[in-house]
Amino acid sequence: MTFTYKQKVLFKYCDPAGIVFFPRYFEMMNDCVEAFFDQIGHPFETLHKDGGVPTGKIEARFHAPSRHGDHLSLTLTGKRITRSTFDFTIVTTCDGAPRMTYAATLIFIDAHGKSTPWTDDLRAALTPYLNNEA
């Protein structure tokens, strides 16, 4: 299973060159992950009450610029789950053409900021999205 998130390129995301300013892309990535956790029944606003899922590692490639008004499609695919981490990719396309590929690792932490094992609930919610082929 994968999770898809749609995002129009808004004015606020664009730089003086009229294309998405790259730090804003990372906001979109975070929004996509936040929407994904909504989808799997563990919204960020609940999850962050006594812990969190900070990002430990990122690899990103920008294939072509995205412009104001572009309709982007972000597809999140799980890659690996360990005791307390989740690796995933988000592939961003516009009309099927690649714009950005993003691979990142989330770390599940407790209220003290220490990595901690995924709860059974969270593990069960994340697992269906694992897809090593994609």
Interface with a second copy, residue 34, by CB under 8 A: yes
Q: Tell me which residue of 90, 94, 88, 77 sits closest to 26, measured CA to CA.
A: 90
DSSP string, 10-57: -GGGB-TTSBB-HHHHHHHHHHHHHHHHHHTT--HHHHTTSEE--EEE
Interface with a second copy, residue 42, by CB under 8 A: no
Which of residues 1, 4, 5, 23 is near a second copy by CB under 8 A?
A: 23
Q: 27 vs 75, which CB is nearer to a second copy?
A: 27
Which of residues 4, 42, 68, 130 is near a second copy by CB under 8 A?
A: 68
Interface with a second copy, residue 98, by CB under 8 A: no
Residue 103: exposure state from Cβ atoms within 10 A (0-12, 13-18, ≥19)? middle
Interface with a second copy, residue 97, by CB under 8 A: no
Asked if 92 and 104 count as a contact pair (C-beta separation under 8 A), the reply is no
Interface with a second copy, residue 71, by CB under 8 A: no
Which of residues 59, 98, 114, 117 is near a second copy by CB under 8 A?
A: 59
3-state secondary structure of 133: coil
Interface with a second copy, residue 62, by CB under 8 A: yes
Residues in contact with a second copy by CB under 8 A are: 9-12, 14-19, 21-24, 26-27, 29-31, 34, 43-46, 48, 52, 54-62, 65, 67-69, 113
